Structure 1
Amino acid sequence: MTLTELEEKVPALKEYTKTMPPEIRSRCTVRTHAAGSIIHQKDMELNYFGIVATGENRVINEFENGNVYMIEGNKAIDFIGEVTILAGMPRTSVTIEAVTDNVVAYISRKDAERWLSEDMNILRLTAGHTAFKLYRSSYTNGAKLFYPPSYLLLDYLVRYGRQNGMESTRPPKSVTVGRTRQMLQEEIGVNVKTLNRTIRQLKEEGFFNICKGKLSFTREQYRMAMDWLESAKDK
């Protein structure tokens, strides 16, 4: 697939590529990362810059003791390598894993640095994305230290529901969280035993159902979780 073909498939991408210099565009390649694959690994030398046209990925930090910390989840349209490039660092600071199939338009780091230095449009978009991620993480930073597991899980479900249309004018009847227990553990930041115990407890209280091993909740359960979170904040 060429960049032009990808733009036709994903019209929103044109806002990001409309000012790409022709010679850089001619060197652009399109690649698909299958769900579950690693897009880039922590501490690898970064030689490219990517624009994620479709798909969802998650940013994780891996430690030498084997523990994995989930930093954030991102949906297209997004960037790959922008933080490393804007920071002027040679190597990546995180691992990015594809949650669903990711289709990414790639250019070399050299081309990206030139484009970012010459074009205010792409610089504004990448800087805005980076600032939004920092704002989002700063807004919730510390919650895992001070809130109980029940709060963390319900807060996660509410945010997941919001991202998947529960606040839209025509919300879905139900939303199923497409995450394994291992992924939930990493994203919420609690150990497996605590997570499983919390899931059992909240399921018994009616906050969600279990469908083929995945957490699923209706709009009524979504509202119930929101009310619980609001009351918990006042305690």
Structure 2
Amino acid sequence: MHLEIFKELPEDKRAYMELLFRNCTEEVRYYMSLLEIPANQTFIKAGTECTHIFMILSGKVTGVEWPAHDRSYPFKDFGPGDFFGEIECFAGLPCYRISILSATRCRVLTIPAVCYMEWMHMDVDALFMRTQENMHRLITQTAEARKYLFMEGKDRLMVHLIRLFEQRQPQPESLELKKTRQQLAEEIGFSVKTLNRSIQHLEEMGLIQVRKGKVVIPREGFYQMKAHVEHHVNG
């Protein structure tokens, strides 16, 4: 398969991938394949054998944790250029540690893990590039998780609502969440009492609406929440 497959990536990521794959092995070129994945499909399941490396070419996916109580916890969105299964292989872990759910329709490149690791053993430049990228990703995610943990309730709710709104493509004029308060609370890591208080706060700020108990995110409210998070939380 030719490196034309990377043409749909953003320019900076396309250049990175072309550099990364310039000396990949014949086995990788022969066995890598493209998958078309519809929205809302779990294509990596935590705990299953790590047999392939996945790379997102287009679309968005969500990382999902499955703790011991067996309730899912969506924790981060990923997009074009992101790899999955690679860290597990580098760490010598036999199974995927998180589940990956397609938030939108996606095109995904897959490479058998055995072929990928044989390539990494032989190509020191590619190994360095991927080690550097993975270290940056792990450090960034740790910092983000720590920041998220200490956010005020309303800010954590904003971050979650922004993510849900951005998953809808094309973006609607308003988005009514079909989830129950219990489901939302579990996804964010709140008690229902804390969630209700945070919803009331955002409603009073004019950022969201509540209709028959359901949270509604107007597009203007989405923009305002995003500006607030970027300025007061991430700034």
By the TM > 0.5 criterion, same fold?
A: yes
For residues 1-235 of structure 1, the aligned pairs below 5 Å read 4=3, 6-10=5-9, 12=14, 13-143=17-147, 145-156=149-160, 181=179, 185=185, 188-192=188-192, 194-208=194-208, 214-215=216-217, 216=219, 217=221, 219-220=223-224, 222-224=226-228, 229=233
Residue 73 of structure 1 aligns to which amino acid in structure 2?
D
**Residues in 1 aligned to 2:133 and 2:222: alpha-carbon distance in whole angstroms:** 31
**Residues in 1 aligned to 2:23 and 2:122: alpha-carbon distance in whole angstroms:** 10
CA contact (8 A) 2:34 2:109 kept: yes
CA deviations 1:67-98 (Å, max 9, x no partner) are 22333221111112011111011111111111
**Residues in 1 aligned to 2:115 and 2:55: alpha-carbon distance in whole angstroms:** 13
Unmatched 5+ residue regions in structure 1?
165-173
1:169 corresponds to which residue?
none
CA contact (8 A) 2:208 2:215 kept: no
**Residues in 2 aligned to 1:115 and 1:214: alpha-carbon distance in whole angstroms:** 48
CA deviations 1:140-192 (Å, max 9, x no partner) are 3345554431132235567x59x99xxxxxxxxx9978986478545532245
Partner-residue secondary structure (3-state), 2:95: coil
CA deviations 1:23-61 (Å, max 9, x no partner) are 320221111222111121111111111221112112121
Residue 72 of structure 1 aligns to which amino acid in structure 2?
K
Between the aligned residues of both structures, percent identity stands at 19
Unmatched 5+ residue regions in structure 2?
none
**Residues in 2 aligned to 1:67 and 1:188: alpha-carbon distance in whole angstroms:** 12
CA deviations 1:95-121 (Å, max 9, x no partner) are 111111221111111101111112234
Structure 1 range deviating more: 43-52 or 136-145: 136-145
**Residues in 2 aligned to 1:114 and 1:87: alpha-carbon distance in whole angstroms:** 15
Partner-residue secondary structure (3-state), 1:141: helix
Partner-residue secondary structure (3-state), 2:23: coil
CA contact (8 A) 2:61 2:104 kept: yes
CA contact (8 A) 2:40 2:102 kept: yes
C-alpha RMSD over aligned residues: 3.8
**Compared CA separation, residues 118 and 220, structure 1 to 2 (3 A):** same
**Compared CA separation, residues 36 and 221, structure 1 to 2 (3 A):** closer
**Compared CA separation, residues 85 and 151, structure 1 to 2 (3 A):** same
